[in-house]
Structure 1
Amino acid sequence: MSGKKLNAEDKAEIIANYIGINFLAAAKELRELQDLKPDVFLKVAEMAGLGKRVAYALARIARQFDDLGVPEERLHAIGWTKLQIVGRYLTEDNADYLLELAETSTVYELESRLRGEIPIEDARVVTLYLSPDQHERFKVKLIAHGAVPSGNGLLRKEKALMAIIDGK
């Protein structure tokens, strides 16, 4: 933030203008806002069109990478989605390795490798549109066949789905 005091609407507009153009600038603005005015942080994020999760993720990215001295061009090239993933495992000692991994991997490959798995080569994506009831039944079946609940999702769901298909 420049030394000038801005109201929430002005700050939200600035952050909204950065999104898509310069996510690091938006991340820094959000971090500073979170540090200095935590009571308006989420209000400004919402006014900027950001959900809570994205706002917190961007602020965390700024907090984690500001002190490492990584060139902004490198961080921009990696992108905020991969930086968010890498941030879960980031230490000062492994930063270079993780950033290199992020630069040379897709999001899927990066997540797999960081979980200690070998990514499936030439993997295909399947998208399903299920009602809440169908989704719950799907989830229960996957868990019964080896998927593991993790946060709001499941790990090892592909293996579980193939076990269902193969009748195991």
Structure 2
Amino acid sequence: MATTDIPLEKKVDIAASFIGDSFLRVAKALRKLQDDDPEIFLKVAESLGISRRKAYALARIDRQFTELGVEENRLYVIGWSKLQIVGRYLTDENAEYLLQLAEQHTSHDLEVLLRGETPVEDAKVVQFYLALKDHTRLRAALVKYGAVVSGNGLAKTEAALMALVDKAISTT
């Protein structure tokens, strides 16, 4: 029976049964669905409560690391988040190096290292919950003080925030 002969509901049931087991099984199922029946790939992901971005990332993780022959146990230890990060830079030649980096660093530090920067030692996390208008104002201020628009987010926010803080302190 061809994959296209299986009703959407059955495919959702099959993929849903993988969710509790491991992300690699979900990744493999999503990749197969993406390859065999791409027109319902996103419908199944949505039905499972997986965002478009995560569905594509999981399918790509399976594709990349299966082709490289990396042991599943190693991938489980690293985790899907870090595999997604190193996957952006992955080649046959640098795979082992990137996997070692992922094993030794947090997701944040891994991102920083792969941008060619040095992670801040003993860094502290600051998280804000802002109203849209306040977020817009903060974003504009950070850009004014050196942050760089990158996709939907900003890069170099830490340096920009500290420049803004320095300015505020120097004027008081």
TM-score by length of 1: 0.93
Asked if the contact 1:18/1:26 (under 8 Å) is kept, the reply is yes
Pairing 1:43–2:43 present: yes
CA distance in 2, matches of 1:147, 1:32: 40
SS in 2 for 1:99: helix
Look up the match of 1:150. Answer: 150
SS in 1 for 2:68: coil
Displacement of 1:126 after TM fit? 0.6
**RMSD in angstroms over aligned alpha carbons?**
1.8
Unpaired segments ≥5 residues, structure 2: none
Look up the match of 1:135. Answer: 135
Look up the match of 1:126. Answer: 126
CA distance in 1, matches of 2:63, 2:122: 35
Displacement of 1:63 after TM fit? 1.1
Structure having the higher Rg: 2
Look up the match of 1:58. Answer: 58
CA distance in 2, matches of 1:19, 1:123: 33
CA distance in 2, matches of 1:66, 1:126: 37
CA distance in 1, matches of 2:141, 2:16: 41
Pairing 1:165–2:135 present: no
Look up the match of 1:16. Answer: 16
CA distance in 1, matches of 2:20, 2:152: 26
Correspondence 1:77-116 to 2 at 5 A: 77-116=77-116
Count of aligned pairs: 167
CA distance in 1, matches of 2:148, 2:25: 37
Displacement of 1:133 after TM fit? 1.2
Deviations 1:114-157 (A, max 9, x none): 00110001111111011111111111110110111111111110
Displacement of 1:48 after TM fit? 1.1
**Overall identity of the aligned pairs, in %:** 56
SS in 2 for 1:56: helix
Pairing 1:32–2:32 present: yes
CA distance in 1, matches of 2:6, 2:151: 36
Unpaired segments ≥5 residues, structure 1: none
More helix per residue: 2
Deviations 1:48-81 (A, max 9, x none): 1111111011011111111101000000110000
Q: Label 1:43 to 1:135 Cα distance change in 2 as closer, same or farther (>3 A).
A: same
